[in-house]
């Protein structure tokens, strides 16, 4: 089903608003990850504002879809999107990573309603999602389970063990989404531990594989709809994204994997005192395509 032009515009504007808030909360926290959250803003927006069957006012609703975040370090985008969707007050976002905050550096399941699992060790999320999806099958439930993963965590062997288990049990009610942004904390994925061909690997493990532009709202929705129509196997969506999306000096630069704006001066980057200001200006003006609201 094609999205109406007005819905696409709403989703794109919401994603850009979420990116701006991510920068603001990271600056306030003075720590946290930047590149991944900015890169995944479109996908999180598409899910929370169009795809997921969920209720922010009743986050423990029994029949809700489950979204498992495996690479928990990109949680700023999840927190900001959840707040934008109405799960908790937006002002609470400014407590990110602070003592006694519900918004820790990795999501904590019992701390914040709407967070399905506690994440931390990379490679664990797909196994957690497998258990949730299998439980739904055993209980005769119709909800779907989605697992968001990083590409870098495919260095971990337990990811592939989970992939085999899911395929063996034909968990067609589970869809994995890989943030294929080609970076991890130490550099580019293909230099650290080559992953390609991800498509061939997942297909050999018995999965249905889709590859999309992770910044195209229609493509994101179409891929999820196709996954729902596949009955004999699980589906993985390899979403090609740009880390640091929307901020030119952050895009495709692995140095911003775990560094917030204003934290340090880095070779080849704007002075730390200017980083947040420049990032927000670019996001406000969509890379200079529109005039700044302050001009």
What CA–CA distances, in Å, run from 214 to 96, 124, 142, 219, 264? Answer: 26, 23, 26, 8, 29
How many other CB atoms are there within 10 angstroms of residue 200's CB atom? 10
The DSSP secondary-structure symbol of 244 reads T
Q: pLDDT value at position 77? A: 98
161: tokens are: 């063990």
Q: What is the structure's pLDDT at 263?
A: 85
Domain positions in the chain are 5-284
- Give me the numbers of helices (H) and strands (E) for the chain, helices first please: 10, 7
Give the three-class secondary structure for 165.
Answer: helix
Question: pTM value?
Answer: 0.94
Q: What pLDDT score was predicted for residue 1?
A: 65
3-state class of 209 per DSSP?
strand
Beta bridge pairs of residue 179: 150, 239
Read off φ and ψ for residue 211, nearest 5 degrees.
Answer: -125, 135
CA distance 70 to 88: 22
The reported pLDDT for the residue numbered 104 is 93
Residue 85 makes CB contacts below 8 A (sequence gap 6+) with: 48, 49, 56
User: Rounded to whole angstroms, what are the CA distances from 212 to 2, 125, 144?
Assistant: 16, 21, 20
5-284 folds as Rossmann fold (3.40.50)
Reduce the DSSP state of residue 69 to 3 states and report it. strand
Q: What pLDDT shows up at residue 287?
A: 66
Q: Name the DSSP class of 174.
A: E
Q: Give per-10-residue mean pLDDT for the chain (295 aa).
A: 90 97 96 94 98 97 97 96 97 96 93 92 94 98 98 95 98 98 87 94 98 98 98 97 94 88 87 92 80 48
Handedness of CA 64, 84, 235, 198 (dihedral sign): negative
């Amino acid at each position: 089903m094609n999205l109406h032009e007005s819905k696409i515009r709403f989703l794109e504007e919401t994603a850009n608003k979420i990116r701006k808030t991510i920068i603001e909360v990271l600056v306030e926290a003075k720590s946290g990850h930047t590149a991944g959250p900015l890169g995944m803003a479109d996908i999180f927006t598409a899910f929370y504002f169009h795809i997921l069957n969920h209720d922010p006012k009743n986050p423990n609703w029994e029949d809700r879809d489950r979204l498992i975040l495996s690479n928990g370090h990109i949680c700023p985008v999840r927190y900001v999107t959840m707040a934008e969707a109405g799960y908790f007050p937006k002002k609470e976002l400014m407590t990110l990573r602070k003592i006694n905050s519900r918004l820790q550096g990795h999501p904590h399941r019992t701390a914040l309603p709407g967070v399905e699992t506690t994440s931390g060790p990379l490679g664990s999320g797909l196994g957690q999602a497998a258990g949730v999806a299998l439980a739904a099958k055993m209980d005769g439930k119709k909800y779907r389970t989605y697992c968001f993963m990083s590409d870098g965590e495919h260095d971990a062997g337990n990811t592939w063990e989970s992939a085999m288990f899911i395929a063996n049990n034909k968990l067609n009610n589970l869809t994995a989404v890989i943030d294929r942004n080609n970076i991890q904390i130490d550099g580019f994925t293909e230099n650290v531990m080559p992953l390609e061909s991800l498509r061939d690997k997942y297909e050999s493990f018995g999965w249905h594989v889709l590859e999309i532009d992770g910044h195209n709202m229609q493509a994101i929705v179409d891929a999820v709809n196709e996954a729902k129509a596949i009955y004999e196997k699980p589906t993985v969506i390899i979403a090609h994204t740009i880390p640091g999306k929307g901020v030119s000096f952050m895009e495709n630069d692995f140095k911003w994997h775990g560094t917030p704006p204003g934290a340090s001066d880095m070779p080849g980057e704007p002075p730390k005192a200017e980083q947040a200001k420049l990032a927000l200006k670019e996001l406000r003006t969509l890379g200079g395509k529109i005039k700044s609201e302050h001009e």
